[in-house]
Structure 1
Amino acid sequence: MSFQTGLSGLTASSRSLDVIGHNIANVNTTGMKASRAEFHELVAASLGACKSINPGIGVSVATISQQFGQGSITSTGNNLDVAINGGGFFQVTQTDGSPAYTRDGSFKLDKEGFLITNSDANVMGLPTDATGKPTSATLQKLQLPTNSPIGAKQTTKIAAEFNLDARAKVATDIVPYPPITTYGTSLVAYDSQGVEIPVTLNFVKTSANTWDVYDSTTLATGAQALATNAAITQTNAANAELHTKNTALNATNDALDVTNTTLNAPNDTLDATNTELNAATDALDAENTTWNTENPTETPRPTYASGGLTRLPTYATGGLTRHPTYASGGLTRLPTYDVTGLNPAEEKIPAAAELVPTGATLQLTFDANGKLVTPKENVELTLTSLNPAVGENGEFTVELDLSKATQYGTSFAVSDLTQDGYTAGDLTGLSVGEDGVINARYSNGQTQSVGKIALADFRNVQGLMPAGGNAWVSTMLSGPPVQGMPSVGKFGGLRPGALEDSNVDLTSELVNMMTAQRAYQANAQTIKTQDQVMSTLVNLR
């Protein structure tokens, strides 16, 4: 009997060394849980005995229990590495279609985008919408959109949070008028095809607690009005200079005209006298011509042509040059100018204070405490795309929310400016949140949820059966799995970019190994001693 007792001790010690060796071998295995051999004594039964003096018949291994204590968490920097900090197991579907459970979160992606373990088991989870809210309660294999770009989304809402300086002066009281961009901000919105639309918001103070708001469209109209006024002002400035020159020239012309009129007065009188004398001379010349013709044999009388009588020059013949007058057009009076034409009496050059844009989108009115009197949170703002195929002739409306605007005596500052549209983008990265939500990052700066990792737990985790590949399967002893979400109830949270180390304590295992070795040696010694006793008994003959 003593041989059997010692042999049972050897067997138990050997099994203990096997468990210790298995623990030491997996000291670096991710998510591995240490085991230990637990023993119980063997005692021969005695029917009807009220007390026993049986010393026992040895030992056997009662069970090899698993120690599901938390292992250390080591950061890896890999986006798809996930550790569970607390209770729960990842749920996976093995290659044969059977369910299994693991604490090893070193996940990978296969060629189809499925999230898998190193044993090619599919990680199970729930589908979600873009915000991370589950859309189904049925577990499914998580497949990530590795080859699917994200489509464009049209902007539907723009929200701005800012403070307008209460110390600012009313714009029309400032000369020259301040630039429209003094108080303003801008962002980029998108149409339904992802085309960028610059949006500008500018604010102009019109009274003590009132500001006009200009968007891109009305600002363009106002800028056009400003540009027109500026052009008119520039033209008027040139016209004013020309008007000054013309006035000086006309003053000279007027003086010259007076002089010419004075000079022409005696010429006119002399011309009348010459005309009368020339008329008499013309009559005498005609008589002399006739006489000379009729009496060619007589001494001819002198004619005008022969110089017998000198014909006096007249103004018409150029004998006396008549000086031109203004009225006769000799000197043209230069016109003066204004913005409407040749009318110096209506000359009009807009003052700087008049160059104010018009067509504000809305007005913001503040109370004595700097708060909006009427919150502006559902204002329709019309945006115009370069693509006429969008909306109606490229126009569509968005909601403008300015309800958080304030007016305090501090500098103008924008604390928040958002819009919900974006252009198309390609997948650039994946990450897992502490709540298990898997987020996809795209080249357009957007992040969308594409699934959520689910966990499972058991009433008796000691009843789980190791299946290899860092996985366990459920048994009747463990009970059915209880599904849950990370960081909810008794389920632990996830630590992305990290892995759970083995919970094997190498120091303890080495001590346990020495203890098991001593136990094995001692049991072997009991067999040796029993052999010596038996040998002595046989040699008694």
Structure 2
Amino acid sequence: MSINGVFRTSVSGMNAQANRLSVVSDNIANSGTTGYKRNSAEFSSLVIAQGGGEYNSGSVTTQVRQSVSQQGNIAASSSGSDLAIQGDGFFVVQDAAGREFYTRAGSFVQRTENNVTYLVNSAGYRLKDTTALDGSAGPITLPVGEIVAPQRTTQANFALQFPESAAVNDTKKSSMVIYDDVGREIVVDVNMTKTAANQWTITYDDSLGPQTSVIDFNAVTGLGTATPAAMAYTLPGGEAIPIGLGPLTEYATDFSARLVGNGNPAGTFSEFAFGEDGTLNGIMDSGAIIELYQLKFARFPSPDQLTAAAGNVYSASNASGVVEVGDPGMNGFGSLVPSGLEQSNVDLASELTSMIESQRSYSANSKVFQTGSEILDVLVNLKR
């Protein structure tokens, strides 16, 4: 065995432990970073071919392994724009140049650049989405301070529960708000009268006069005996708004009504909020809610093989596989947790233990190097 082999092996050992300490240092430094995924250093040996009775020492190399697929704990947040993912998936983000990245760090805030308001994380990456209106993809832009154009009501629905114990000629009342083309609010009063046993009549007035629909119920099941005739509300200009009926029931419980229509008046948004299904809704000062975007998640067959980049983001690689995009909570994608943040998956106790082990191994390898140096001195001194 050449004495030089001792130096080579011990130096590779010290380098390997130094790499491990670097990984541990990075993990500890980012133990409080939202969505950070810990790394670990894996060792592998390099063996030199042996011959005769001599032993030729090899060396050791390190490879960094990511734990991107390991779930971190989710902590509650007071911000409605903070988001977390429970399960498989990544947020899709873009940098200012439009390059696409993926992250689990969901601490998004509003930032206005050149009069355009984006949702960006702490590293400045913009949250990307698919618009609910036209299906086009791009970074989310929030209409902060903009006048929202009115949308005429185009459809409505009556969901009604009638009390089975009501007497004939008993009347229940409710109302629905709809909007015309300029966003003018129209309140539609709806009367519901029990006209016979297990029969109710729905009545309201529109521009054509009184409109009625008779609903018959099965006395045993409390469900409708037939599909009720279609209803519509006709605006003064002649536009007809179709009204769906259902669910309709007659159970032995209290009366309840849910009469809703789409559309909105002109106004401005007072706030924005994400739903668990990934929709980003704008809440107007009038209380109307408008769906603006549908959040999409990305996932990979081998997420631990993604390429890490600055800002706690990742990019696709050949080893990670092809990206797949889908809705939160659907087809195996993780669920969205609004007002939550995924914490780092670093375990400080494990990292400190690894630090102690690396320190001892580094010291032991340095002793091997020192011993080899002393042996070499002995060889040199033989000539004296």
TM-score normalised per structure 1: 0.59
Residue equivalent to 2:255: 413
Instruction: Output the CA distance in 1 between the equivalents of 2:9 and 2:225.
Output: 94
Helix, strand or coil at the partner of 1:113: strand
Residue equivalent to 1:75: 76
**Is the 1:188–1:196 Cα contact (8 Å) retained in structure 2?**
no
Residue equivalent to 1:521: 363
**Is the 1:12–1:59 Cα contact (8 Å) retained in structure 2?**
yes
> Would the alpha carbon gap of residues 537 and 484 (structure 1) be closer, same or farther in structure 2, given more than 3 Å must change?
same
Displacement of 1:18: 1.2
More strand by share: 2
Instruction: Output the CA distance in 2 between the equivalents of 1:210 and 1:482.
Output: 52
Residue equivalent to 1:179: none
1:213-246 CA-partner distances (Å, limit 9, x unpaired): 654589xxxxxxxxxxxxxxxxxxxxxxxxxxxx
Is 2:310 the counterpart of 1:468? yes
Displacement of 1:103: 1.5
Residue equivalent to 1:95: 96
Is 2:379 the counterpart of 1:378? no
Residue equivalent to 1:11: 15
Residue equivalent to 2:55: 54
1:186 is aligned, of 149, 174, 179, to: 174
Is 2:129 the counterpart of 1:128? no
> Would the alpha carbon gap of residues 532 and 437 (structure 1) be closer, same or farther in structure 2, given more than 3 Å must change?
same
Residue equivalent to 2:185: 196
Displacement of 1:139: 3.5
Instruction: Output the CA distance in 1 between the equivalents of 2:316 and 2:246.
Output: 56
The one-letter amino acid of 1:185's match is K
Displacement of 1:127: 1.8
Give % identity. 30
1:462-519 CA-partner distances (Å, limit 9, x unpaired): 4322221111223333344333333233432221111111111110000000000001
Helix, strand or coil at the partner of 1:451: strand
Instruction: Output the CA distance in 1 between the equivalents of 2:41 and 2:250.
Output: 74
Give ranges in structure 2 of 5+ residues lacking alignment.
none
Higher relative contact order (CA 8 A, sep 6+): 1
* Aligned residue runs from structure 1 range 25-40, under 5 A: 25-40=29-44
**Is the 2:217–2:249 Cα contact (8 Å) retained in structure 1?**
no
> Would the alpha carbon gap of residues 399 and 377 (structure 1) be closer, same or farther in structure 2, given more than 3 Å must change?
farther
Number of residue-to-residue matches in the alignment: 370
**Is the 1:17–1:513 Cα contact (8 Å) retained in structure 2?**
yes
**Is the 1:422–1:444 Cα contact (8 Å) retained in structure 2?**
no
RMSD: 3.5
1:428 is aligned, of 262, 270, 274, to: 270
**Is the 1:91–1:454 Cα contact (8 Å) retained in structure 2?**
yes
More helix by share: 1
> Would the alpha carbon gap of residues 37 and 419 (structure 1) be closer, same or farther in structure 2, given more than 3 Å must change?
closer
Is 2:354 the counterpart of 1:512? yes
Q: Whose Rg is larger?
A: 1
**Is the 2:24–2:354 Cα contact (8 Å) retained in structure 1?**
yes
Instruction: Output the CA distance in 2 between the equivalents of 1:156 and 1:362.
Output: 17
> Would the alpha carbon gap of residues 516 and 443 (structure 1) be closer, same or farther in structure 2, given more than 3 Å must change?
same
**Is the 1:166–1:407 Cα contact (8 Å) retained in structure 2?**
no
Deviates more, 1:430-439 or 1:104-113: 430-439
Is 2:382 the counterpart of 1:530? no
Instruction: Output the CA distance in 2 between the equivalents of 1:367 and 1:90.
Output: 48
Instruction: Output the CA distance in 1 between the equivalents of 2:313 and 2:380.
Output: 55
The one-letter amino acid of 2:31's match is V
The one-letter amino acid of 1:116's match is V
The one-letter amino acid of 2:323's match is P
> Would the alpha carbon gap of residues 198 and 55 (structure 1) be closer, same or farther in structure 2, given more than 3 Å must change?
same
> Would the alpha carbon gap of residues 372 and 493 (structure 1) be closer, same or farther in structure 2, given more than 3 Å must change?
closer
* Aligned residue runs from structure 1 range 6-405, under 5 A: 6-45=10-49, 53-61=54-62, 63-68=63-68, 69-111=70-112, 112-129=116-133, 135-136=134-135, 139-146=137-144, 147-154=146-153, 156-157=155-156, 159=158, 161-163=160-162, 168=167, 183-192=171-180, 193-202=182-191, 215=204, 361-362=211-212, 364=214, 366=216, 369=219, 376-380=228-232, 390-391=236-237, 398-399=241-242
Instruction: Output the CA distance in 2 between the equivalents of 1:531 and 1:81.
Output: 57
Helix, strand or coil at the partner of 2:141: coil
TM-score normalised per structure 2: 0.81
Displacement of 1:31: 1.4
Displacement of 1:11: 1.6
Displacement of 1:95: 2.7
